[in-house]
Amino acid sequence: MITFDKLSFWEKDTYTAEADFLIVGAGLVGYSTALSLRARYPHAKITILERGYLPSGASTKNAGFACFGSPSELLDDLEKMSENEVLSILQKRWDGLQILRSRLGDAAIDFQENASFELFREGEKYELEKTLSQIDFLNSFVEQAIGTKNTFEKVTPQLFPFGGVAGVLKNNYEGQIHTGKMMQKLYQLVISNNINVLFNISVTHWEDTDTMVNIFTNHGLLKTKKLMICTNGLVTNMIPSLPVQPARAQVLITKPLDKLNWKGTFHYDKGYYYFRNINNRILLGGGRNLDFEGETTTAFDNTDLIQNALTDLLEQVISPKTNVEIDYFWSGIMGVGNSKAPLVESVSPSVFVGVRMGGMGVAMGSKIGEELAELVAATQP
Ligand SMILES: Cc1cc2nc3c(=O)[nH]c(=O)nc-3n(C[C@H](O)[C@H](O)[C@H](O)COP(=O)(O)OP(=O)(O)OC[C@H]3O[C@@H](n4cnc5c(N)ncnc54)[C@H](O)[C@@H]3O)c2cc1C
């Protein structure tokens, strides 16, 4: 390994030179923060450090739902949080999606507004009726937050070939994207904005002095005037006192089916399970609620318990009449906490965090990058 002190003059004068703004984490939030800072500071030196050879957290692993909330999830949130808090999170998701789409363009990220659907199974008729009785309230609540009219409506389960489904609620304004294309397009935009991205560098800790922030990495020391930590569920390695925990999410993808006669994104069991089409494949994820403790981990593994639960759901509910073959599984690490609200705050005079994106970072990430850049800008002389 070549440590920073062994680099050439040219390398030291460019790649590792002292930054005005240094960001840890090349996920959606890190990239978005860098772009929002660039819009404010056209000539600043901005560097992003990433521990993996690819972004290695959640942003390249997720399901690509461009979503802001299913009916039962919103009702559940309203039981646990104040209306204002739920409203504010809803707005961040919606605003984030608008920034993402206008920044990257719908074609580049395969954005498709195919709507989303929440499923209620035969044994959940009570939950279905309870949710249905709140639809008018939810529609006006969402309209107040983001301006969409008649967001939710009941549709017939016969529209879909699923097994044992008693009711379906549609969200007319949710969509889906291609996660890999989103992250590649963001990277291209970052590079074309003269932002320096260094992969394979792990930050271990930092020190905020009066004049500078020292950043200690596995390759040596770097310096910056302001440090932004955008490592989501992995932030506790660097700042253990923050109320954020890693939360693994496991996913499977099927082999292409000869024919798939539905499309869109689907939520089930208050969002603990989710599935969608990717062309004629099915992506299915969830089941973290089966083992919250075991899934509080930063290890990119899959477990029998959750693989079996996902396989059963695929075969019995999603595709009961067609033979489906699972191609492979993967997992990603989210950041969660006792609140669904993200943490955007200063942890020392020149060090800031933008973390705890939960299961909705695709939606919120671009907005959180904007908020973090705004917070940092407010401290600039
Ligand atoms: C399986 C799965 C499905 C999901 N589905 C959806 C969905 O459909 N819709 C939705 O809105 N959201 C979804 N999410 C959530 C969403 O992906 C995340 O909220 C979002 O990607 C978080 O982005 P981020 O930039 O904050 O974090 P990350 O993408 O995790 O980025 C953090 C980066 O920091 C790097 N890093 C960490 N520690 C260090 C260190 N010490 N030094 C250097 N680099 C470091 C990591 O390698 C990583 O690349 C899903 C998540 C998962 C895992």
Residue 61 Cα to ligand 1 middle (Å) = 8
| Residue 115, phi then psi, degrees to nearest 5 | 75, 165
How many CB atoms neighbour CB 81 within 10 A?
A: 16
CA-based nearest residue to 179, from 371, 368, 361, 52: 361
CA-based nearest residue to 208, from 37, 344, 346: 346
The per-residue pLDDT for range 172-181, each reduced to its tens digit, is 999 999 999 9
CA of 334, closest atom in ligand 1: 53
Above 90 in pLDDT, residue 195?
A: yes
Residue 79 Cα to ligand 1 middle (Å) = 27
CB–CB of 286/276 below 8 Å?
no
3-state secondary structure of 117: strand
CA of 59, closest atom in ligand 1: 21
Q: What is the pLDDT of residue 365?
A: 98
Of 161-165, 171-175, 196-200, 205-209, where does mean pLDDT reach its minimum? 161-165
Round to whole Å and give the CA distance between 63 and 267.
12
Q: What is the pLDDT of residue 269?
A: 84
CA-based nearest residue to 257, from 278, 239, 243, 233: 278
234, 239, 364: which to mutate for ligand 1, most atoms within 8 A of CB? Answer: 234
Above 80 in pLDDT, residue 111?
A: yes
Interval 13-39 mean pLDDT: 98
Q: Which two tokens stand for residue 274?
A: 């989710």
Above 80 in pLDDT, residue 136?
A: yes
Q: What is the pLDDT of residue 297?
A: 97
Architecture of domain 4-61+180-243+339-378: 3-Layer(bba) Sandwich (3.50)
Above 80 in pLDDT, residue 171?
A: yes
Round to whole Å and give the CA distance between 272 and 266.
11
The residue whose two tokens read 């990603």 is 332
CB–CB of 333/300 below 8 Å?
yes
Q: What is the pLDDT of residue 381?
A: 76
CA-based nearest residue to 21, from 46, 41, 40: 46
Round to whole Å and give the CA distance between 338 and 270.
17
3-state secondary structure of 144: helix
Q: Which two tokens stand for residue 107?
A: 């074609």
Residue 228 Cα to ligand 1 middle (Å) = 15
Round to whole Å and give the CA distance between 228 and 215.
11
Pocket of ligand 1 (CB under 6 A): 24-30, 49-52, 55-59, 61-65, 67, 202-203, 230-232, 234, 237-238, 249, 251, 285, 332, 334, 357, 359-363, 365
Looking at residue 182, its amino acid is: M
Residue 226 Cα to ligand 1 middle (Å) = 22
CA of 65, closest atom in ligand 1: 8
CB–CB of 24/49 below 8 Å?
yes
CB–CB of 28/361 below 8 Å?
yes
The per-residue pLDDT for range 329-361, each reduced to its tens digit, is 999 999 999 889 999 999 999 999 999 999 999
The per-residue pLDDT for range 115-134, each reduced to its tens digit, is 999 999 999 999 999 999 99
Round to whole Å and give the CA distance between 46 and 16.
11
pLDDT band at 210 (very low <50, low <70, confident <90, very high): confident
Residue 103 Cα to ligand 1 middle (Å) = 19
114, 215, 231: which to mutate for ligand 1, most atoms within 8 A of CB? Answer: 231
The per-residue pLDDT for range 60-98, each reduced to its tens digit, is 999 999 999 999 999 999 999 999 999 999 999 999 999
**Cα torsion angle, 114, 278, 260, 251, sign:** negative
The closest residue, in CA terms, to atom 3 on ligand 1 is 62
CA of 204, closest atom in ligand 1: 41
CA of 93, closest atom in ligand 1: 11
Above 90 in pLDDT, residue 323?
A: no
The closest residue, in CA terms, to atom 30 on ligand 1 is 57
CA of 265, closest atom in ligand 1: 8
Interval 141-161 mean pLDDT: 95
Query: Average model confidence (pLDDT) for the chain?
Result: 96
Examine domains 4-61+180-243+339-378 and 115-173+245-335 and report if their fold is the same: no
CA-based nearest residue to 270, from 78, 6, 38, 48: 78
The closest residue, in CA terms, to atom 21 on ligand 1 is 59
CA-based nearest residue to 249, from 309, 180, 320: 309
Q: How far is CA 109 from the centre of its chain?
A: 15
pLDDT band at 322 (very low <50, low <70, confident <90, very high): confident
CA of 32, closest atom in ligand 1: 25
Instruction: Spell out the domain ranges in the chain.
Output: 4-61+180-243+339-378, 115-173+245-335
Residue 62 Cα to ligand 1 middle (Å) = 8
CB–CB of 277/285 below 8 Å?
no
Measured at the alpha carbon of residue 240, what is the angle toward residues 234 and 243, in degrees to the nearest 5?
80
Q: Which helix (H) or strand (E) holds 213?
A: strand 213-217
The per-residue pLDDT for range 226-275, each reduced to its tens digit, is 999 999 999 999 999 999 999 999 999 999 999 998 999 999 887 889 99
Q: Which two tokens stand for residue 123?
A: 């044994």
Architecture of domain 115-173+245-335: 2-Layer Sandwich (3.30)
